Amino acid sequence: MISVILPTFNRDYILSSTIECVQNQTFTDYELIIIDDCSLDKTCEIIQKYSQTDKRIKYIKNIKNIGCARSRKIGYENSRGKFLVFLDDDDTWEADKLMKQYNALMHTNNDVVISDYKINQHNQLIYKNMKKFSTNFKYEILMGPGPFFQSIMIKKNIVDKMELPFDDSSVPSEDWNFFIELSKLNLKISYIPKALFTWHIHKNNQSLDLKKEATALHYILNKHYNYIKTICGNVIISNHYRRIARLYEKINNEENQEYNIKIYYTKAFQASPLSFKNIFYLIMIYIGYKRVKNIIQWIRKVRGIPNV
């Protein structure tokens, strides 16, 4: 059996379509564990309506709001399936997602199957190819985020071996932390070259909280610093610090914006002082980010790099 883990919070306006997305799967031997993170809307009524007619649905309501990472952990602890899959309440699956991923694991000795996915932003679909993560998973995931929870199926006994798979300090980048922890195991990975889920970006996505994301990336980098450095080296450490700095560039109303930008570009330089990029940014930020912001954006434009 497959255990589908679905955390939700105050999404009564879309929860029915999410539940029906699971019910419409061509694979039917599953349990759907819905963890209601103490919603204040009609979430409870909606779940109870579906669970009355579908005994595969298991409803768990948190007594207080604890966030998506700890809610997934509760779902995992209450799961009975051999395989685990994850779904967020604002995402959709292709109808054959479970069947394709189940077949990919049942007929091989592999532990995880990764599929491509699509991002729906402003009604435009962006295709994300995950093939590279199936060939050199450890190195590629330490280079930067890639797969989401929703794009995998994994054997439960593999998650049992992970040290801290659902770390709430890493939200909203908890997917990346999960896959870094996963990469520490000796895995066998399957890959399906088809987008089996769609991530819908909207104004309520927690991943759009850029300050929270920057804080989470800093936490994850510190947590796995020695591991990333050993496998990938200082250049990749430097790249991660620059990624955090660029997030702070996007937060225009951040009180300490210039300070944080300076901190992380300095850390990038300290990690890799011979990098031309790091030397350039170090000079720029010590002149003052607000003074040189237009110069930085012009250079990025010339190089064909999207401005923040």
Question: What are the pLDDT digits (tens) for 232-243?
Answer: 999 999 999 999
Question: How many other CB atoms sit within 10 Å of the CB of residue 211?
Answer: 16
Residues with Cβ < 8 Å from 122, sequence gap 6 or more? none
- The span from the CA of 72 to the CA of 8, in Å, is 10
Which pTM was predicted? 0.92
- The span from the CA of 77 to the CA of 65, in Å, is 18
Length of the chain as a residue count: 308
Cβ contact 190:112 at 8 Å: yes
Decide the pairing of beta strands 112-121 and 57-61. Answer: unpaired
**C-alpha torsion sign, points 72, 160, 134, 20:** negative
Domain range list for the chain? 2-207, 233-303
- The span from the CA of 272 to the CA of 189, in Å, is 32
What superfamily would CATH give domain 2-207?
A: Spore Coat Polysaccharide Biosynthesis Protein SpsA; Chain A (3.90.550.10)
Answer yes or no: is pLDDT of 308 > 50: no
Coil, strand or helix at 268:
helix
pLDDT classification of 24: cutoffs 50, 70, 90: very high
- The span from the CA of 161 to the CA of 73, in Å, is 14
Cβ contact 22:87 at 8 Å: yes
pLDDT per position as a tens digit, 40-72 = 999 999 999 999 999 999 999 999 999 999 999
